[in-house]
Structure 1
Amino acid sequence: MGGDYIDVIIFAAIAAFLVFRLVSVLGKRTGEEQPRDPFGMARGGDMAQGPDNPSENVVPLPGTEKPDEVTESVSPLAEALGQIQAADRTFEPGEFLNGARGAFEMVITSFALGDSNTLKALLSDAVFANFENAITQRERAGETQETTLVGIDTAEIIEANLAHTIAQVTVKFISQQISVTRNEAGDVQDGDPDLVNQVTDIWTFARDTRSKDPNWQLVETRSSN
């Protein structure tokens, strides 16, 4: 009987000791309580533990003091694009730029080939008249134009506006081109067939947002070269 009582005391003491150890371990901060930084691996592994107050090691840069209040402003370009999107639910700037790139290549190539039919479908009447006149003068002089569009480096929307139902979007193209003009004998009159030139063109496209025709027309061309 007495032996059983002693055994109970021993087991109770062991249980108390185990509970004490468990509490001491659970009560410790092992550094694993906070979730891991999901970007830590991209930065080269876990970051070293910083000070209790992270702001202690922050050095403010000039002009980055805390503002009294933060206000969000919308640029005129973004506002204009938003107006076009409101008038034409199918308009999306990224898709528009893809189409503008394709139109740019077609116009450059068609003008060099003297392909008036293709140009007429892509250009407004006024712009087409200018292109057609240049092609006619070139043919009368017995000259041919060779233009190779090596690539389009950038295509960026720089202006946009909506006047009533007419949307206009201006794109700045920076491209690499090889351009050569040859005479009737095939000799080079202008340009260099081995020289790649960087060319900057600024083109304005327009479309009536009420029209069922989804295509945009080139209504103005400028060049900054």
Structure 2
Amino acid sequence: MAIIDLNSDVGESFGRWTLGDDAAMFESVSSANVACGFHAGDPSVIRSTCEKAAKAGVVIGAHVGYRDLAGFGRRFMDIDPTELADDVVYQIGALQALAATTGARVQYVKPHGGLYNAIVKHTAQARAVVDAVKSVDPNLPILGLPGSEVLRLAEEAGLRGVSEAFADRAYNPDGTLVSRSQPGAVLHDPAEVAQHVLRMATEQTVKTIDGSILNIRAESICVHGDSPGAVAMATAVKSALGDAGVTVGSFL
């Protein structure tokens, strides 16, 4: 039976501000990208999220990003690579410590938002992320877009690069994600999202924004936890995969 990892961005609440239903998402996904405090999350939210993930048997990963709470980490930042590497190390370390208090551990790294998109092509920032992860633990895989600089550099550095696709995002013909500023960039209908994922998981293809078909091979598929109707989409995706004989399970 085929197996595919479903991951979700979680732990993105902050203080009295709540975003997403992480506990409900953990019923459908196998990996949790936990915000590390730079784009979202605070120490109490991080610890609580790790505790819930561990109880649900969901693998924990560090969702590292730019230091940009106001912009939710979705804006590009022209940051010095050394500073970026230090920021990534800091975030992984914070999550490792808080996860340890719940008896869990960090098992992979996934960059977030603006940083994720930048290191598809921005070599200097991609190398900074890879160097940071390797310096903390060379056994930590890095999730990224297929064909991205970060995955290329990760492989060169002896790290495992894990190719990722997105359940609720539209694709450009070149395999990049359609900018959130463009109409149709984010998918909302659970049935449409489920078919989108089913095509990725069973046919290794995706229909792009212009209707063309793109080959895509992914070990993990992301369902964003902050999207409206995220839980319904995740539930529909897991159900559709199960009906097609595909099991949801960690890529580790």
TM-score (norm 2): 0.20
Q: Which has the higher contact order (CA 8 A, sep 6+)?
A: 2
Query: Which structure carries more strand by proportion?
Result: 1
Structure showing greater Rg: 1
